[in-house]
Amino acid sequence: MSNILVKIDGRELEAREGMTILEAAKEVGVAIPTLCHYEKLEAYGGCRLCTVEAEVRGRTKLVAACLYPVEKDLVVITRSEKVDKIRKMILELLLAHAPVARELQGLAQEYGADKDRFRKESSFCIHCGLCVRYCAEIKKKEAIGFVDRGTTREISFIPEIASQECVNCKECFPLCPTEALQAAFVLTQALSFPASSFESSE
Amino acid sequence: MDKDRIDQIIDKYEGKASSLIQVLMDIQEENHWLPREVLKKVSEKLGVSFRQVLRIATMYKTFSLVPQESHETHLCAHGKMSPTDAIKKYKIEKLVERINSASDLEELREGILSKRDSQKPCIAICNGNGCSHRNHGIIKAFEEELRKHSLEAKVEIRATGCHGFCEKGPFVVIYPEEICYVEVTPEDVPEIMSQTLVEKKVIERLVYTDPNTGEKIVRQSEIPYYKDQTLFLLGNNPKINPKSIHDYLAFGGYSALAKALFEMTPEQVLEEIKKANLRGRGGGGFPAGSKWETTRNAPGEVKYVIVNGHEGEPGAFMDRALLTGNPHSVLEGLIIGAYAIGSQQGFIYTRHDTPELLENIHLALSQAEEYGLLGKNILGSGFDFNVEVHLDIGIFVSGESSALMRSIEGKAPEPKPKYVRTSVSGIWDKPSNLNNVETWANVPLIINKGSEWYRSIGTEGSKGTKLLSLFGNVCNTGVVEVPFGTPLKEIVFGLGGGIPNGKKLKAIHFGGAMGGSLPARLIDSPLDFDGLAKLQAQIGAGALMVLDEDTCMVELNKSFLQFLTEESCGKCVPCREGVRQMLNILTDITEGRGKEGDIELLEEIAEVVGEAALCSLGRTSADPLLSMLKYFRDELEAHIKEKRCPALSCKHLKGGVR
């Protein structure tokens, strides 16, 4: 197999087949911000914060670093006016939901994002899916899932499973980029009012 | 709901995990809602986690998790039949044995034609989707009248697919004279019987009157609406009963399949499609031949071909007209494609809410199989190919190619985030070639008449014809088929008959919530994939909405965004949040809270959504807005700066009184 030579922010690297840009960048010490990524879980591609510029065969495109596989002669730029603009907007959109989240605030400072740009709809959850995927992929309990669709998509604990599994676990909470406020709320709701949490999806 | 009944439903699908959506649909239909205990039972029996069952049950709006008293069921508009019942009911044509060669097929065709008396009177009644409920009364009335006149054996009644000219429907066409009556009601039927069928007289009041000349036009094909179209795909709709494979065979059906199987190699078929430059009709306009080739060359023995009959674009109804009215034409294209690609399993993914459509698809499949045109050893060629039907149950995003494929796998229809094309890794990670209904229907045409002929129709980059559904502020609502290159003016003012109530044309909008609006001044532009894309108005699947001067473009864009907030999957931030905020801003603007900087903010969000969203739905969700900013910016500015709606439509703003 031929070597996959890639260049990330000017740093060259011989990458392995199947690696993503995010993994390759880490090897050469280039940090790409993420919100929905966790190494032990399958890449998700939901937050799009890791968007970078990738040049392949003379064409530059914007791709999600957590999913885009390295290929021969790939040139990646992880910070540019365009990339920063996208990240700033994504952060502003999310800060409308979780204005006090520390992780978001830190990133907002880095990218000059204004937390008050959009009207607040504080639901705390930014739908990164880390809790949902951790519970399914690592714990194999599937006590929490997404319900509904579009802008009404929400996380929801399944009362029957949560009452058995969650009280002594809550391992998903520390993964949450918004301090698990919404998760704590919906878990409490699921345990206290199992029926209502079920119908709230309607 | 009875536990045994749930078991029965699950057993019907052999307990396959991939049948989850179908199982939930059957339960919803019978029980009108999905009780939690039932969902748990389904989860256990199918071996799918409760979380995933809930995900799907809450994602589709067809499903209800709370009891519904008078649930407005999307599933059975009128006495929906199960596929097997439909097959039993319409199994009218008895076949002695299956067809085993190309010459057998020709022999059968000759047999059918020789038994047909071209002089035998036939009453053809349009009975397309959405109309079949209403038009059923007319068909019944004709049956009754035939009995009264003891003419059952002498006159044929043919319920056909959509004739396209919906504005003037229901249509009744009496052959062999081709006497065409419009806007027929069941009350007109006795008169048609006694006057036209018995006494051979034309009833003047039921004949189409040309609104421009006042002329009465008796023959259907001479009505300008039909005369001015190029009906390659829809031409047979008024002539055939879609439930009869014999009708399709009588008009040369499956001759292209025989030609492909016995006179061409798969490579030659592929080459022909590539040479014809057939482009995908679903929205993207991607060359079908290249896509086929990618799937053909992708590693792996198992490959899939799929008909995308989702047709979720608001206002689009042309694919339904074609698939319901002439299902074999789409199926024939699919089988030819499968042969070229090297696939032995096909899927038809279509709507659940149109019973006539489903019935016709299932019948077409069972008839084709019975005749040896589908299944094992097709026409004795050694080529095997099967087709399964899968249903969308109500979410727009499931028309997106990778979401559609996940739905076929029985999973929640979320677009696949990976950077691998579905033509290489699609359903169950196998190479999967997806084309839209109309694209597949073009295939037999190209094989029969050749790529040379096909290339002679259309423009430099867009070949053949295009189906469009015309709706909105236009006199003639309906489905039309025109060659690429036709000036839009001819479509809107010629076929469409112009704008009703003496109003002026303001804009035409292509492609629904992911399309674009063209102002009236560009109405001379030709219908062309690339030309219109350059003008920021992608053809999309072909829904063409005509907008008169009273339309507020801001309101229109608001409604598109509203649609997307409910019809996207909600997974990625740019789409879910970007659409939410664009809608918030437009809502503010239409309610008098617009402010300086709103336009720039909209532009910024639109740019990010267009570049960073996960799937094509997200990336094109701001396209209508961008076309508004390009052509109707002053209108938006009037809303913001002067708090005025130039179309006098927004009721919170100055002049908004209507």
pLDDT digits (tens, 9 = 90+) for B443-462: 999 999 999 999 999 999 99
**CATH code given to domain A130-199:** 3.30.70
Please check the confidence at residue B72 and state whether its pLDDT lies above 80: no
Burial group, residue B5, by CB count within 10 angstroms (0-12, 13-18, 19+): middle
Q: Tell which B residues from 383 to 412 touch A, by Cβ distance under 8 Å.
A: 395, 397
Q: Residues of B with CB below 8 A from A68's CB?
A: 419
Please check the confidence at residue B198 and state whether its pLDDT lies above 80: yes
What residue spans define the domains of chain A? Answer: 4-78, 80-122, 130-199
Cα–chain center distance at B331: 14
A171 touches chain B (CB under 8 A): no
* Digit-coded pLDDT (tens) for B369-400: 999 999 999 999 999 999 999 988 878 888 89
Please check the confidence at residue B76 and state whether its pLDDT lies above 50: no
**Predicted local confidence at residue B95, as pLDDT:** 58
Q: Which of B418, B562, B571, B603 to mutate to test the interface with A (most CBs of A within 10 A)?
A: B571
Report whether B27 contacts B413 (CB < 8 A): no
Element holding A34 (H helix, E strand): none
Q: State the smallest CA–CA distance between residue A55 and chain B in angstroms.
A: 14
Q: Crossing angle for the helix pair B327-341 and B437-455, nearest 10 degrees?
A: 70
For B243-247, B416-420, B539-543, which range has the lowest pLDDT when averaged over its residues? B416-420
The proportion of chain B whose per-residue pLDDT surpasses 90, expressed as a percent, equals: 82
Residue with tokens 């609406």: B225
**Predicted local confidence at residue B417, as pLDDT:** 86
Low-confidence ranges of chain A (pLDDT < 50): 200-202
**Predicted local confidence at residue B583, as pLDDT:** 97
Hey, are the CB atoms on A149 and B570 less than 8 Å from each other?
Answer: yes
Structure tokens at B297: 């060359």
Q: Which of B39, B48, B50, B55 to mutate to test the interface with A (most CBs of A within 10 A)?
A: B55
Element holding B192 (H helix, E strand): none
User: What is the per-residue DSSP string for B214-245?
Assistant: --EE-BGGGSHHHHTS--SSSTTTTTS-TT-H
Q: Crossing angle for the helix pair B573-590 and B553-567, nearest 10 degrees?
A: 150
Query: Cα(B63)–Cα(A41) distance, rounded to whole angstroms?
Result: 30
- The fold adopted by the segment(s) A4-78 is Ubiquitin-like (UB roll) (3.10.20)
Report whether B313 contacts B270 (CB < 8 A): no
Q: Residues of B with CB below 8 A from A97's CB?
A: 577
**Predicted local confidence at residue B131, as pLDDT:** 80
A28 touches chain B (CB under 8 A): no
Alpha helices in chain A (DSSP H): 21-27, 81-95, 102-111, 130-133, 159-165, 181-192, 194-199
Average pLDDT of span B630-652: 95
**Predicted local confidence at residue B657, as pLDDT:** 52
Cα–chain center distance at B260: 26
Average pLDDT of span B59-77: 66
- Return the ∠ at Cα A154 (arms to A148 and A157), rounded to 5°: 105
Element holding B310 (H helix, E strand): none
B72 touches chain A (CB under 8 A): no
- Mean pLDDT for chain B overall: 92
Q: Crossing angle for the helix pair B633-641 and B598-612, nearest 10 degrees?
A: 130
**Predicted local confidence at residue B96, as pLDDT:** 54
Q: State the smallest CA–CA distance between residue A170 and chain B in angstroms.
A: 17
Residue with tokens 């899932």: A145
Structure confidence at residue B91 as a pLDDT band (50, 70, 90): low
* Digit-coded pLDDT (tens) for B268-319: 999 999 999 999 999 889 999 999 999 999 999 999 999 999 998 888 999 9
Q: Which residue of B has its CA nearest to A196?
A: B66
* Digit-coded pLDDT (tens) for B480-521: 999 999 999 999 999 999 999 999 999 999 999 999 999 999
Three-state DSSP at B159 gives strand
Q: Residues of A with CB below 8 A from B572's CB?
A: 45-48
Helices (H) and strands (E) in chain B, counts: 26, 15
Q: State the smallest CA–CA distance between residue B626 and chain A in angstroms.
A: 18
Report whether B208 contacts B216 (CB < 8 A): yes
Query: Cα(B408)–Cα(B422) distance, rounded to whole angstroms?
Result: 13
Domains for chain B: give ranges and CATH numbers: 3-59 (1.10.10), 120-227 (3.40.30.10), 245-262+278-450 (3.40.50.11540), 465-548 (3.10.20.600), 553-641 (1.20.1440.230)
CB proximity list for A151: less than 8 A, separation 6 or greater: B565, B566, B568, B570, B576, B579, B580
Of A118, A143, A150, the CB nearest to B570: A150
The beta strands (E) that lie in B42-184 are given as: 122-126, 156-160, 172-175, 179-181
Using alpha carbons, select from A111, A96, A97 the residue that is nearest to residue A50.
Answer: A111
ipTM above 0.90, yes or no: yes
Residue with tokens 């990646």: A76
Element holding B90 (H helix, E strand): helix B83-90
Burial group, residue A106, by CB count within 10 angstroms (0-12, 13-18, 19+): exposed
Structure confidence at residue B74 as a pLDDT band (50, 70, 90): very low
